[in-house]
Each structure stands twice: as structure tokens, then as C-alpha cells.
């Protein structure tokens, strides 16, 4: 093997090891901001889920309105 091929193989192996170490330390799952705090990203709801939640809220509001009257 020539030297550049050996260097490429060792670099690839180092990258795999770095990713494995980061995963074991738990760094792979959390997203940190510049200040070091965890980045809370919004979850995205499907259209069906939004519809279901909306219908449930309308039902609750109707029940409250009925009790208030």
C-alpha cells in the first residue's frame, strides 16, 4: 500500500471511532446551542393530528360554554 492510501484508511477509521465515542457519551443525540444550552426544536404535527386536536378542543369549549349558560 502507498502512503496516501494508508492515511485515508486511518483517517476513516479515526472518524468512525470519533462518532462511536460521541454516541456513547451521549453527544450525538442532544443539540447544543452556542451558549451550551440544549436547543428545543418544535415537533411537527401531521394534518390528521392537528385536526384531531382541534376537534377535541372544540368539544371542550362547547362543554364549558354549555356549563356556563
Q: Which domain holds residue 59?
A: 3-29+45-68
Q: How many domains does the chain have?
A: 1
Name the pTM for this structure.
0.39
Tell me how far apart the alpha carbons of residues 37 and 30 are, in angstroms, rounded to a whole number.
10
Cβ-Cβ contacts under 8 Å for 22 (sequence gap 6 or more): 28
- Predicted pLDDT at 35: 58
Q: Is residue 50 a part of any domain in this protein?
A: yes
Q: Is residue 40 part of a domain?
A: no
In a domain, 59, yes or no: yes
Residues 23, 3: Cα–Cα separation, whole Å: 30
Considering the domain boundaries, does residue 19 fall inside one?
yes
| H-only helix segments in the chain | 3-25, 47-68
* Domain assignment of residue 55, yes or no: yes
Residue from 33, 52, 49 nearest 41 by CA: 33
pLDDT one digit per residue (tens) for the chain, 69 residues: 799 899 999 999 999 888 888 877 776 555 555 555 666 677 788 999 999 999 999 999 999 999 988
Does residue 39 form part of some domain? Answer: no
Give residue 27's pLDDT: 61
Amino acid at each position: 500500500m502507498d502512503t496516501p492510501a494508508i492515511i485515508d484508511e486511518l483517517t476513516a477509521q479515526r472518524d468512525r471511532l470519533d462518532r462511536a465515542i460521541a454516541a456513547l457519551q451521549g453527544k450525538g443525540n442532544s443539540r447544543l446551542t452556542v451558549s451550551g444550552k440544549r436547543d428545543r426544536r418544535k415537533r411537527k404535527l401531521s394534518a390528521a393530528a392537528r385536526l384531531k386536536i382541534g376537534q377535541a378542543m372544540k368539544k371542550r369549549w362547547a362543554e364549558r360554554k354549555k356549563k356556563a349558560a
